[in-house]
Amino acid sequence: MSEQVVTTWSLEQNDPDGLRQAKPPAEPVDLVRVDVPSPEFSRFLYTAVGGDWHWTDRLGWNHKRWSEWLERPGVETWVLYSRGTPAGYVELEAQPNDQVEITCFGLLPGFVGRGLGGHMLHEAGVRAWNLAQRWPQLQPTKRVWVHTCSLDGPSALANYKARGFEVFRVEEETIEVSDTPIGPWPGARN
């Protein structure tokens, strides 16, 4: 463990017309909604995507906590599949004042660098903007936002900006960070 200065960028879109498409992926992919909340599957996605980027906030969640999170109205998990294999995922959360946060977003390690992230982010943005169409108790989305930090993938910030998200806040914080990310599962780095 060592102390690091971590920069966090919060980005937003206030109009769905600001969402910009990416180059179509070179391989066939489908972004599919997880219709039945599954703590096991969501935890798998969280660790498989976030293990290389110091995602640790949810590692201590038990099954009940995962269930409570996933079963709330307006929380959706969307999985990007490449030929039947999970390639990445995005999690959306409806928030007060008709806002939607992209709470998790990323690709599994074997799919990084294949031109999928921009496409997945555009498609995630479309689903964030039309979230209320799937949840009748919600009002139409007025703002979509996300945050990324200097511990995330090196292309994350550029991808958000390229899809039309604009930075509205930058924060720096000194925190204790593991010298090496934990990886997607125990022993993955061995």
Domain boundaries, the chain: 2-177
- Residue 185, pLDDT above cutoff 90: no
Residue that is written with structure tokens 């660790």 in the block: 47
Residue 188's pLDDT band (cuts 50, 70, 90): low
For the record, the structure tokens of 146 come out as: 């996300």
Tokens of 24: 């179509």
The per-residue pLDDT for range 128-137, each reduced to its tens digit, is 999 999 999 9
What pLDDT digit, counting tens, does each position of 68-114 carry?
999 999 999 999 999 999 999 999 999 999 999 999 999 999 999 99
pLDDT digits (tens, 9 = 90+) for 54-73: 788 898 999 999 999 999 99
Closest by CA to 99, choosing from 11, 190, 6, 3, is 11
Distance CA 29, CA 78 (A): 12
Please tell me the class of the 2-177 domain: alpha beta
